[in-house]
Structure 1
Amino acid sequence: MDARTTARRITRAAGLALAVALTVTACGSGSGGSADGAVRSDPPAQGANDINPRPAEQVRDGGEVRYPLYQWITQWNPYQVDGTYGDAVEIMRALEPNLFRVDAGGTFQPVADYLVDAKVTSTSPQVITYRLNPKARWSDGKPLSALDFKAVWQTAGGKDPAYNISNSSGYELISGVEQGADPTEVKVTFAEPYSDWQNLFRPLIPAAGIATPEAFNTGWVEKIPITAGPFRIGTADKTAQTLQLVPDPNWWGQKPKLEKVTYRVMTQAATTQAFLNNEIDFAAAGTATAYGQLKDAKDAVIRSASPWDEVHISFGGGGALADRKVRQALGRALDRQSLIKIANNGVPVEFKLLGNHIFMPNQAGYQDNSGEWGRFDLAAAGKLLDEAGWKADGAGRPRTKDGQALELHWVLNDGTTQAQVDLATAAQAMWLAAGVKVDIDKVPSNDFFAKYVNQGKFDIASWRNTDSFPLSSSLSNFRLPQGDNVFGNYSKLGSPEIDALLKKAAGTVDPVEAAKLYNQADAGIWELGHTVELYQRPSVVAVRKGLANDGAFGLASQDLTLTGWEK
């Protein structure tokens, strides 16, 4: 159930943090899984995490922590549309200025290594004044400055289509960036109020690295030209699929505890054995098979928490799926509770049915907006397909229209576990009962996002949206594409009404009023037939005994400088 990409808290910089396809969350009757005999606890509460917290003086200096990586990272610019892969965004937070961290309660906290303070200094118009730590410098020797904030705004704001951005939310509302009273002060002015301003410029990247569209789009491919974090890249061996971070000797803040942090690309299925072989120090433990093997393993500790992490099935917008009624029919033909049982088999934390695309059940403002569109009703699915002109052709046969069979393709990561195949096969059978033939097409792990999901080349696909937090970042997932830029909306489905509601909510400072708007937008997303939500995915992970300040972070983000081994 758990994957490194989300368990390590990918609070998003700009755009969607994506983990491996649903494969990493599902578990079922595959090899090693038994009947559902796990004694389940309720999902961990909001505000809780499980990381073995230790102050710096109780963590020894030196040592190495080894993590799995589910695909080789090609694009390192987190503001570029291909740079939103979860592990890449998280690693960048150790290499570039992470102005704010999120605590276990989901509240932003300024990072003193970069900020003396940051606050709203005017409300009409809204002005945010950042006071930078004068010690903060880029690896090229230049101090952090208003020039860097301005460059991120101008590139990520979406006004110049030559910059292939992932998400303009918040940035498009900025009207100006300028130096304040001195070079360490930056003033950001908004044309419209924006409640989630602390999520902007996370991480900050240097103006020198994104000065032109070419630099923005390709200058961070297979390299990170300039850094300003506690770590830097030590080695990046694409042949061996191994990446290593080491402390940056020019770092001005608290020295990292670890001597090196090593990431090695492997499939989700391989992580359990790699942990048991003492090749990695962190592994997902959320499938029946993985949990069963890891819970009593030597030197293993199981940790769990509730992050912003949802499992869903997305529909494309081409071919037969261009008709909303066909997409709605696919949703109504799915028995979501039965699919969740497959995923929850043998896992010690209960999965709850998710009825919202924007809020998690443990967030204030959550309500179930799925209505009829998330309710299993085979007859209703058939009626929708009839209305769309797809005629039934007998039990077990696909419907037809104008001589064509209703046949769709589910793109599946070939690194998936048997459990995910079980889930996909169950959904496949449900759809066939409605007269929709679905073929499951496995594709290489490294191609799943880059060549299929990111390109919108799928009829059906499953992945996880992680840390869509704060709420305004959800705009990226559902907004209408602009030209070739799909932002994070890989289905390319949307409406002006949904866009307007999400944008209005993002500018609403009152959280109660904002929640009403977000829920109205969510109801529209359900009716659109964009995505069928399944469940919030608790993180359940195995870590090596003695590992401090790491594990299941819940809503919090990680401080890698404090991660290490207990004294």
Structure 2
Amino acid sequence: MSHDGVATRPGRSAVMRSVAFLTAGALALPALAGCSDPDPAGKPLAGQDIAPAARADLADGGTLRWAVDAVPETLNTFQSDADATTTRIAQATLPSMFRLDANGRPARNADYLESAKTVATEPRQVVLYKLNQQAVWSDGREIGAADFAAQWRALSGKDSAYWTARNAGYDRIEKIERGANDLEVRVTFARTYADWRSLFSPLYPKEVMGTPDSFNDGARRKLKVSAGPFAVKKVDRKADQVRLTRNPRWWGRPARLEEIVLRAVPRDRRAAELAAGELDLADVDPAAARRIAVAAPRPKPPTAGASAGATQLMGPDRPAPLTPAQQRDRKRFRGVEMRKSLEPSFTQLALNGGDDGPLNDERVRRAVARALDREELAKLVLSPLGLPAEPVGSHLALSGQAAYADNSGAIGGPDTAEAQALLADAGWVPGGPVKEKKKGEKGEKAAGGEADKDEKSAKDKDKGKDKDKKSEDESKGKGKDKDSDAKDSGSGSDTYIVGEDGKSGDDGKREQLAQDGRQYGGNQLPQGGAPGAYAPQGTAAPAGAAARPLAKDGKALTLRFVVPAGEGSQTLRTVADRIGLMLRRVGIRTEVTKVPDESYFKDHIASGQYDLALYSWPSSPYPATDARPVYAKPVPAADGSLNVEQNYTRIGTDQVDQLFDQAAGTLDESESRSLIRKADSRIWASVGSIPLYQRPELTAARTSVANAGAFGFGTPVYEDMGFLKKDFKPAATASAG
């Protein structure tokens, strides 16, 4: 789980949503594309950007200095505290039977497998693996059935002494045997398993998986035996780095690099270290990406499908004269360039429907969904980066992956009138009534408070005092994006409102707000609104202006919107601001509360202390396995609590669970994809979460680094990474004219 800009994104090891009230099960769903239409999976919105080069053009040797978020607590990807660096190390040092191609689809890894296929389905499914004859561990022992069996026993879930984070798929295996020879492994399943290709990637040696002690502790700080192009030489916690060196027993294409050093570098320091020549490769935030791109625009067009905003990151064809700061950056970042793609993960708006709050009502959740313009939100984040700004249409796959289909039609597009009708049907009435607050009681930023202000402002106007008041209705005069909430002095929260001109607020904030607006496509206004944004009472509000606040049973319709407070999460806060503005237009108010990054997920998302939240999920090529716990229907636990697994919106249905089970239990790949797409349509209909946009992947790299950068869907090929030879000259490209 992650929220944008905070380095807690999980890999698969951690895992890895009309006016009439319609239940998800009764909803009439749109017909799924597929029978005679083109494949709805489509293509990835953005390809890899890794500066590809032939191995012959790369120098032999060198050390690649690669920034990571942290030195991992464990090198065992199957433990709960594994992180993205754990996965990166495993990819470089351990066998994977299947790796992901540029479309995010599993492909046989020929370095380890000659073949792998289902050879029997009755009475049990049997998969036969034929291993590469040269595949050996770094101690010289052949990779074989004993390693497969040890990993199965450790991850099957039958022995609680193993501290495993997941056992999906391994719990379906009945037995593992040696085949006709030492290079064959027969895996027999007790229950048919469609996602069998997800297993044994990575594969650990039996020395790690063989006993609970070796599993729990043996591979946390060191990996004595490996079988990849690189091996773990040292995990140095004092220096905050992990050093990988060439594996002398590697039988595949020799690694071009001598070493890879993964060093923990805070994101706010990476640009400076790149400029100082202390890093070769680093993921950076949008602000740093913009500085580097403007300083050193790349001589290539933007990613296919990108919007006109691409020049904002890649550099215009005819750049304007550089400012003094940009001139300094050009000198600092000489030899550094930006590589960009879209990550195999997406940011979503989560709606907590698990308590007795307003979002427990499906009509209110559907109203929130109809109030959102997801295309506008995608453009807000991605267009300034020169990346394709298309909303994500599925909870379970991304464009280009086999199971993808745009099922967002299950809730419909943005429609203010429909959203307001849904809210009215749910009993939410414009303006009140709202219970009176007792004298001295802390104010609640709610519809009642706003309505009280309107009434008081009207009375003051009659007395000639209206110029000193800022009532809700009067603030509508300038229309779209000119609203502002009054911040409740007793709430203890920080509230952000997105505006158009960035002219309000104190002088100390104005320039920063303008910069944020230029960066993200919209300016932020502090409380107070914009000068001149008020009209005489009774003036009709233009289209898109805020609607009157809503209330029901004496309670205002105000949703708690929790966002992370860290410097790297500015994008999320900007998106939250814009969502708040969209919801105001249908009468829903939000309180945006910033919380520390370290407590954002644990203390708010996982514990259900929110109404609305933004965070990201990785998109797996095996959704029937990896996505099921994210959308499974919560069930009561033995102690009376609610077991939500990873469904932190607490919204699920029996029908969705059944579709996941059916998809995982069929070996007909077409049928499995169809079942996944049906499950996604019903997840959309239940409106537990709303996918917004695919996360940007922004990587700064030395221009001499090849075959590394923004990998998109594809698994990195570590043996092909390297530095271009000093005498390398790129091939001439044909002119368009």
Asked whether the two chains share a fold, i.e. TM above 0.5, the reply is: yes
Q: Does 1:171 align with 2:207?
A: no
Deviation at 1:382, TM superposition (A): 5.5
Q: 2: CA distance between counterparts of 1:160 and 1:249?
A: 36
* Deviation by residue 1:110-159 (Cα, 9 ceiling, x = unmatched): 33443343232223332211123455444676543323323333443445
Q: 1: CA distance between counterparts of 2:724 and 2:183?
A: 37
Q: Does 1:256 align with 2:263?
A: no
- 2:597 counterpart residue number: 444
- 1:408 counterpart residue number: 560
Give yes or no for contact 2:397–2:621 (8 Å, CA) kept in 1.
Answer: no
Q: 1: CA distance between counterparts of 2:109 and 2:182?
A: 19
Letter in 2 for 1:545: T
Letter in 2 for 1:523: S
Letter in 2 for 1:86: A
Q: 1:95 to 1:365 in 2, by over 3 A?
A: closer
5+ long unaligned stretches in structure 2? 17-41, 297-333, 433-446, 451-484, 486-548, 726-737
* Deviation by residue 1:157-205 (Cα, 9 ceiling, x = unmatched): 4456665654444334333222222333211122444333222111012
Secondary structure in structure 2 of the residue aligned to 1:62 = coil
Q: Which of the two has higher C-alpha Rg?
A: 2
Deviation at 1:435, TM superposition (A): 3.5
Letter in 2 for 1:347: L
Residue pairs, 1:129-528, within 5 angstroms: 129-133=128-132, 135-138=134-137, 143-158=142-157, 165-211=164-210, 216=215, 220-224=219-223, 226-284=225-283, 287=286, 290-297=289-296, 298-305=334-341, 308-316=344-352, 318-319=354-355, 320=357, 323-325=360-362, 327-363=365-401, 366-371=404-409, 373=411, 375-378=413-416, 380-381=418-419, 393-394=447-448, 395=450, 406-412=558-564, 414-431=566-583, 434-444=587-597, 459-472=611-624, 473-480=626-633, 488-528=646-686
Q: 1: CA distance between counterparts of 2:698 and 2:242?
A: 24
* Deviation by residue 1:387-414 (Cα, 9 ceiling, x = unmatched): 7677753446785768798552514161
Q: 1: CA distance between counterparts of 2:254 and 2:146?
A: 27
Give yes or no for contact 2:43–2:103 (8 Å, CA) kept in 1.
Answer: no
Q: 1:346 to 1:503 in 2, by over 3 A?
A: same
The normalised TM-score by structure 1 is: 0.80
- 2:724 counterpart residue number: 566
Q: 1:66 to 1:360 in 2, by over 3 A?
A: same
The normalised TM-score by structure 2 is: 0.63
Q: 2: CA distance between counterparts of 1:345 and 1:288?
A: 14
Q: 1:217 to 1:312 in 2, by over 3 A?
A: farther
5+ long unaligned stretches in structure 1? 18-42
Give yes or no for contact 1:6–1:309 (8 Å, CA) kept in 2.
Answer: no
Letter in 1 for 2:720: L
Q: 2: CA distance between counterparts of 1:158 and 1:384?
A: 45
- 2:64 counterpart residue number: 65
- 1:123 counterpart residue number: 121
CA-based RMSD: 4.0
Task: Tell me which moved more, 243-252 or 493-502.
Answer: 243-252
Letter in 2 for 1:465: W
Residue pairs, 1:533-552, within 5 angstroms: 533-537=691-695, 539-552=697-710
Q: 1:510 to 1:166 in 2, by over 3 A?
A: same
Secondary structure in structure 2 of the residue aligned to 1:129 = strand
- 2:20 counterpart residue number: none
Deviation at 1:261, TM superposition (A): 1.6
* Deviation by residue 1:24-79 (Cα, 9 ceiling, x = unmatched): xxxxxxxxxxxxxxxxxxx9857953323334333222212222223443243322
Give yes or no for contact 1:314–1:532 (8 Å, CA) kept in 2.
Answer: yes
Give yes or no for contact 2:280–2:701 (8 Å, CA) kept in 1.
Answer: yes
Secondary structure in structure 2 of the residue aligned to 1:308 = strand
Q: 1:131 to 1:368 in 2, by over 3 A?
A: closer
Q: 2: CA distance between counterparts of 1:432 and 1:163?
A: 50
* Deviation by residue 1:430-464 (Cα, 9 ceiling, x = unmatched): 4466444333233235x656776567665544333
Q: 1:140 to 1:480 in 2, by over 3 A?
A: farther
Identity of aligned residues (%): 31
Q: 2: CA distance between counterparts of 1:150 and 1:14?
A: 19
Letter in 2 for 1:376: P
Secondary structure in structure 1 of the residue aligned to 2:630 = helix
> Higher relative contact order by CA 8 Å / sep ≥ 6: 1 or 2?
1
* Deviation by residue 1:298-330 (Cα, 9 ceiling, x = unmatched): 223443445533222234454337725354444
